[in-house]
Structure 1
């Protein structure tokens, strides 16, 4: 027996006029299911048509994973909103250190980050473990907002041994989501 299946994935981006900043990358495959916001460090080249290694890996993972909100409630998401603490597009995150810090994000970055967070049932911190001072201050700023207003819906990726996943692009296929511990600043 052969089955024919079709699907439509809605895709949307919000970028700056000069295409140097990407504020939002959104993929919706099921309007009726909850949405997740994934907060990463900075965007790469993914857009409304192209995927990059990290966004594709996250989407593929979240399509399959059942997220345990509590002991009684498990959900599958129907889409993601990828936002970044720095909206400056750079395929090599280590190159961000060479840029003027004030150019790495702007007020639209924060507006779209907040909009995505407010409109999602879960928030996943996936900005990696890099802890340079340039990143630490911005991560702490976002962490404080999440802790104050959204702490009950913040998660992060963990490996089989319950250690934090370094970065979504290199996470294992069997990575899980765990409630974010705001007392640990290594992620």
Structure 2
């Protein structure tokens, strides 16, 4: 795995992306703007093109929520580490979790960091159950879809507060 760390003047003091050597998997993406403030984690469905140098819409939304809630770092993880801008491609690829993804999720859960789940409607129940077993503690979300899944942040209002996700 290669770790990319970028200095992004005027935006973040640190930007990190843990991406597999072949570029197919992204295990972690984080943005830091204030080291004196606590950190928060989001668990989403799958990563797209964002890396240590480039944000996408989802990253921008997660950063905005974290800033508004008083955090200085936001880290993003995923149910599936396979990088694609098309979530339906996950199924075509056999729902590739990524060789290191579950170990990284275990580490996040063990850290005690506040976790917001936000993978939207398209996650298979088996994977949700596996990840919730890894986390092993209550999590929060930005809202709940009609099917009970946690809402994805990209199309939600910025003034939301986290709520318990009743897994």
Q: TM-score range by the shorter chain?
A: 0.7 to 0.9
Instruction: Give, in angstroms, the shift of residue 7 of structure 1.
Output: 6.2
From the superposition, tell whether residues 15 and 34 of structure 1 become closer, same or farther in structure 2 (CA, over 3 Å).
same
- 1:143 equivalenced with 2:122 (yes/no): no
Q: Does the 8 Å contact 2:47/2:78 carry over to 1? A: yes
Q: Equivalents in 1 of 2:82, 2:119: separation in Å?
A: 14
SS of 1:56 mapped into structure 2: helix
Q: Structure 2: which 5+ residue stretches go unaligned?
A: 1-9
SS of 2:100 mapped into structure 1: helix
Q: State which structure, 1 or 2, has the greater radius of gyration over its C-alpha atoms.
A: 1
- 1:86 equivalenced with 2:89 (yes/no): no
User: What's the RMSD between the two structures over aligned residues?
Assistant: 2.0
Q: Equivalents in 2 of 1:20, 1:81: separation in Å?
A: 19
Aligned residue in 2 for 1:3: none
Q: Equivalents in 2 of 1:52, 1:90: separation in Å?
A: 12
Aligned residue in 2 for 1:171: 156
Instruction: Give, in angstroms, the shift of residue 177 of structure 1.
Output: 0.6
1:115 to 107, 112, 132: 107
Deviations 1:75-128 (A, max 9, x none): x21111101110000101122111123xx1233111222223333530010111
Aligned residue in 2 for 1:155: 140
Counterparts of residues 1-187 of structure 1 (less than 5 Å)? 8-65=12-69, 76-101=70-95, 104-131=96-123, 135-146=124-135, 148=136, 150-151=137-138, 154-158=139-143, 166-182=151-167
Q: Equivalents in 1 of 2:98, 2:40: separation in Å?
A: 23
SS of 2:151 mapped into structure 1: coil
Q: Structure 1: which 5+ residue stretches go unaligned?
A: 1-5, 66-75, 183-187
TM-score between both structures, scaled by the size of structure 1:
0.75
